[in-house]
């Protein structure tokens, strides 16, 4: 089982560049989300989606866009990267009625 798959694993960006972090899940989960993890801050919710075509903001949405055109995919876009977006990003998913979230392996992003 692939579970939740994130790409790329590592990325270095220059300030102002744009990029997309890809996330795919093969478990037919309705709910998908993106978190960022920073030292001493734990995991903070960026955006989430409760189903295809539906997205909403989490705790720290500024500087990020998302879309959910299919159940399987939930890409996270940085339109103009800033050093403050240097972080580890995790995609996660769960079933609509489930209470447990399954995480991808993470994407390490550095903005210089």
Partner 1 sequence: GQQLNQSPQSMFIQEGEDVSMNCTSSSIFNTWLWYKQDPGEGPVLLIALYKAGELTSNGRLTAQFGITRKDSFLNISASIPSDVGIYFCAGSISGGSNYKLTFGKGTLLTVNP
Among positions 73-92, residues that touch partner 1 (CB under 8 A) are 90
Least separation in angstroms between residue 15's CB and partner 1 is: 25
Taking a C-beta distance cutoff of 8 angstroms, is the pair 23, 9 a contact? no
Least separation in angstroms between residue 26's CB and partner 1 is: 16
Establish if 106 lies at the interface with partner 1 (CB under 8 A). yes
One symbol per residue from 30 to 59: x for binding partner 1 (CB under 8 A), - otherwise; what is it? -x--------xxxxxx--x-x-------xx
How, if at all, do strands 31-38 and 42-51 pair? antiparallel
Taking a C-beta distance cutoff of 8 angstroms, is the pair 74, 26 a contact? no
Choosing from 103, 110, 111, 112, the residue that interacts with partner 1 (CB under 8 A) is: 103
Question: Tokens representing 94?
Answer: 């769960």
Question: Tokens representing 48?
Answer: 């989430």
Tokens 């339109």 -> residue:
79
Establish if 101 lies at the interface with partner 1 (CB under 8 A). yes
Q: Number of C-alpha atoms within 13 angstroms, CB side, residue 43?
A: 12
Establish if 61 lies at the interface with partner 1 (CB under 8 A). no
Residues at the contact surface with partner 1, assessed by CB under 8 A: 4, 31, 40-45, 48, 50, 58-59, 90, 94, 96-106
């Amino acid at each position: 089982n692939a579970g939740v798959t994130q790409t790329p694993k590592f990325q270095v960006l220059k300030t102002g560049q744009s990029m997309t972090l890809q996330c795919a899940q093969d478990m037919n989960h309705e709910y998908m989300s993106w978190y960022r993890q920073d030292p001493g801050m734990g995991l903070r919710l960026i955006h989430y989606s409760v189903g295809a075509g539906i997205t909403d903001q989490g705790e720290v949405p500024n500087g990020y866009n998302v879309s959910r055109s299919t159940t399987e995919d939930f890409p996270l876009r940085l339109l103009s990267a800033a050093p403050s977006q240097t972080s580890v990003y995790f995609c996660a998913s769960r079933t609509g009625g489930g209470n447990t979230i399954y995480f991808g392996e993470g994407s390490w992003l550095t903005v210089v």
